[in-house]
Amino acid sequence: MEKTYTVSVFTENSIGMMNRVTIIFTRRHLNIDSITASESEVKGVFRYTIVLRTTREQVDKVIGQLEKLIDVFKAFVHEDSEVVHQEIALYKIKTASLTNGDVEKVIREHHARILTVDPQFMVIEKTGHVAETQLLFENLKPYGVLEFARSGRVAVTKPMKEFSTYLKELEESNHKL
């Protein structure tokens, strides 16, 4: 049965790494719903957070393939219940829409905030899950959405084992060899 999975991949920061990571999904004909990349809590180690819908069997095979890549330290797979996650969405609408209080009411109801107001447009920010950011988009449509952008998922795991612990274990196992 297909479910949504969050894959965290910890790598060295090397040129072409994102391509090498994503090609593994492409080869298995898996569509990536979102991908984000940033430095992790460990200096010099980068984290890719990848969201996809597939079966557990397929995602486990992907994890195995990812861990075979030279610059990958470790890859993990998590179900939604095992992570705390958010996305950010930006909405650009016409400033003229502000003339009645309806837009402000919609913004308040969705716990969004206005980032900037320009004579021609304003930018609104909303953090939350996809359903929440999409609902605000639908509610802002009548006021003229000029642009809409949503980030990929940013997630941290609920289990308390820190990535630095995995690095120490990896280092210790390499010394034993």
Confidence of residue 162 (pLDDT cuts 50, 70, 90): low
pLDDT average, residue stretch 113-129: 94
Judge if pTM exceeds 0.85: no
pLDDT average, residue stretch 136-165: 86
pLDDT value of residue 23: 96
Q: Please, are residues 67 and 21 in contact by the beta-carbon 8 Å criterion? A: no
SS3 string of 5-65?
EEEEEEEECCCCHHHHHHHHHHHCCCCEEEEEEEECCCCCEEEEEEEEEECHHHHHHHHHH
pLDDT average, residue stretch 108-117: 95
pLDDT average, residue stretch 131-150: 95
pLDDT value of residue 41: 85
Place of tokens 């359903």: 131
pLDDT value of residue 43: 87
On the question of pLDDT at 107 being above 90, the answer is: yes
pLDDT value of residue 164: 67
